[in-house]
Amino acid sequence: MAVGSLAGLLALLRADTLYRVDEPAISPQLRYYLCYRTPQPLSIDGRLEEQAWKKVYWSEDFMDIQGKSKPKPRFKTRVKILWDDDYLYIGAELEEPQVWGTLTRRDAVIYLDNDFEVFIDPDGDTHQYYELEINALNTVWDLLLIKPYRDGGPAIHSWDIQGLKTAVAVNGTLNNPNDKDKGWTVEIALPWEVLKEAAPFKKKPEPGDLWRMNFSRVEYRVKAVEGTYQKEKDPNSGRDVPEDNWTWAPQGLINIHYPEMWGYVQFTGTEAGKAKEYCQEDEEAPVKWALRKIYYRERKSYTEQGRWAEKLEDLNLAKDKELKVSGYTYPPVILATQNLFEASYTGKNGQQWHIRQDGLVWKTSPDQK
């Protein structure tokens, strides 16, 4: 859609193109992973047996996408991450007694099979982020999200990661229900030449940089029928039993497209195995979460009342302690028009954090006013 005038731009941003956004049941459970360098390029064979992989630690085991209140996943999933000058490397281990896959066409809807998924938001503003899904047949679906679906998308399905390398190794036999498998491993090399497109200053990370990421696994319940795997059906509805969704960082609801809930990957220039370091936490996470809570309630207010609110009291947030952020003025400033809203906090150094009706979050400095 071309926008040739201010009126056209406002039409594109009209609030009535947005809908209510569900609020996560939990505050972000921030996960951090320190990404070490590998001294030489990795051979992508899916096995994770090179010394560089053996020298780095596994992430925490995945949990249910909704958080700790839900049952522990039936099978273990975990990841490792490395980088060099050319690639971001991701290795995953998926425990699985029944390894199967059906989809062989690139950019098919891979989560209709059991799969492993990668999500990367380089600048952490929740817009312009990458998604990659892969099944046990090493079939991939890669796409670019301009915005989360809740904010109007769109997803660019024709976008391909040029230079992508992937491999899968099965510890067992693929698509054979006559035996019990141990699982499958995934190895991915994502080129910086592509990833830097949505990165700050359009460049690959430097040591110390934090990127928002999450990893997900979709798992169906299956049974053997005449020598093949079939998804289990609900006896009452006749539909497939809903899949399990397991993630590294929990989302607080069944929706992976809440980038504000993802974990952090910090890059270090230290070679894997040379020295132990620790991740630097995102000190600005509390103010960004406070703004996000305003965003959830504003979207709810508009869909229910047809207007944006300008006071915390109207959003039922006046008593929410998470909105009183250390080092920032309180209450936050909320500005609203018929079609738009913006909320902001000002820090002691004059820097401001902002959020608007389509969920974009950003920071400005005093000299940018």
* Cα 55 from Cα 89, distance rounded (Å): 14
Per the confidence metrics, is the pTM higher than 0.85? yes
Mean pLDDT of 349-361: 97
Quote the mean pLDDT of the chain: 93
Taking only the tens place, the pLDDT of each residue in 57-81 is 999 999 999 999 999 999 999 999 9
Mean pLDDT of 328-350: 96
pLDDT at 85: 97
Q: Is the pLDDT of residue 3 over 80?
A: no
pLDDT band at residue 17 using 50, 70 and 90 as cut-offs: low
Amino acid at 76: K
Lowest-confidence pick of 17-31, 235-249, 299-313, 321-335? 17-31
pLDDT at 4: 40
pLDDT at 2: 36
Q: Is the pLDDT of residue 246 over 70?
A: yes
Q: Is the pLDDT of residue 5 over 60?
A: no
Taking only the tens place, the pLDDT of each residue in 282-314 is 999 999 999 999 999 999 999 999 999 999 999
Mean pLDDT of 176-182: 95
